[in-house]
Amino acid sequence: MKQSVKRTILWLVLVLAVAAVLHLTGNRQKQPGYVEADSGSRIVMGTFARVLVVAKDKESAVETIEAAFTELKRIEDLMTVHRESQVTLINDEASKHPVPVDNDIFYILSESIRYGELSGGSFDITVGPLVQLWKTAADTNTPPTQEQLENAQRKVGYKKLVLDPNNQTVFFAVEGMSIDLGAIAKGYAVDKVVEKIRQPSILGAMVDLGGNIRCFGKPAGGKEFWNIGIQDPHVEASDVTTQKTIFTLAFKDEAVATSGDYRRFNTIGGVRHSHIIDPNHPEAESKLNSVTIIAPTALTADALSTAVTVMGAEKGMSLIESLENTEAILITPSGKITKSPGADKFIKY
């Protein structure tokens, strides 16, 4: 082979090699330096759950998602009322003697009492007897009598829930009491997941448990914020894909929860009743269609969304404005929207 041909071939090989290196280098430069993983929807705690993770590597992302659902399942096993759990044990035994509970349960009971005091009794986890009464009413399509309501109400009241921090026990001061953690357990579970997955290998994440959402760190999709849509409560939707969004909220490191009667309600004797019960006036109609709370933790957002729904727009907004780093967006049955002073900074459109 002539030297000139050899030189030409070597030159071509060199050019191709350099081109390949430049191509690979360019690809590496275009890579974002992180991976994203989405759990998709799974059923946990009687609702849809989703975890979206932005991680340094695929292995960390996958492991984190599974760790998140393991934690959700752990909380569900502790707090469910649909099978044997610490909560069912409390409901069965706490009117007979003090019942020892673990750290998670004692903490959430303590927080529940605090929010009961903060809301003047509008938030109350001892509504179990009323919840059961209205469930029976829905099953039979027969409204409860005034006598039944009064009898159930005698067993309700967060002040009748006696906690002993020294022995970490719970006791019911009135026989027939029962607790229902449906207005706070999901928020607590989301916070526990965030606590567990907030590791150096995780750059950001969003945890969504039935609309109880908390985000932190780097948003997915290369966006500047985590974007959360708030459903229009006055537009019927057959499922989540057809719902109309009234607001989109933008977050960096916050939690949000929305309560309302537009998805979960019972029609009894031709009258629509919200699933959220006013402990003091259980026969009253809902004062608000939708309550969205923005707060530092999911537990706070969850508990306050229920409390404000019961309190109504005026008293509820007064409570929100008295709290730091907490905002609210309220929508009445007539469609009136009321926002706390700092809510607009989270509204993208």
pLDDT value of residue 192:
98
For residues 271 and 204, which has the higher predicted lDDT (pLDDT)? 204
Name the band, by pLDDT with cuts 50, 70 and 90, for residue 282: low
Scored b (16 or more CB within 10 A) or e, 248-257 reads ebbbeebbbb
Superfamily of chain region 86-172: ApbE-like superfamily (1.10.3980.10)
CA distance 187 to 205: 16
Of the spans 8-12, 148-152, 316-320, which averages the highest pLDDT?
Answer: 316-320
Domain 225-349 has CATH 3.30.420.40: no
Summarised one tens digit per residue, pLDDT across range 300-312 is 999 999 999 999 9
The domain spans of the chain are 86-172, 225-349
Counts for the chain of helices (H) and strands (E), in that order = 9, 16
* 270: pLDDT strictly greater than 70: no
Model confidence, pTM: 0.85
342, 327 Cβ separation under 8 angstroms: yes
SS3 content of the chain, % helix, strand, coil (to 5): 40, 25, 35
Q: What is the DSSP letter of 122?
A: S
Dump pLDDT digits (tens) for 150-188: 999 999 999 999 999 999 999 999 999 999 999 999 999
pLDDT value at 28 more than 50 = no
Q: How confident is the model at residue 6 (pLDDT cuts 50, 70, 90)?
A: very low
Q: Looking at the DSSP assignment, which residues form a beta bridge with residue 228? A: 249
Average pLDDT over every residue of 261-285: 63
Are 315 and 343 within 8 A, CB to CB?
no
What is the per-residue pLDDT across 79-131, written as a single tens digit (0 to 9) for each?
999 899 999 999 999 999 999 999 999 999 999 999 999 999 999 999 999 98
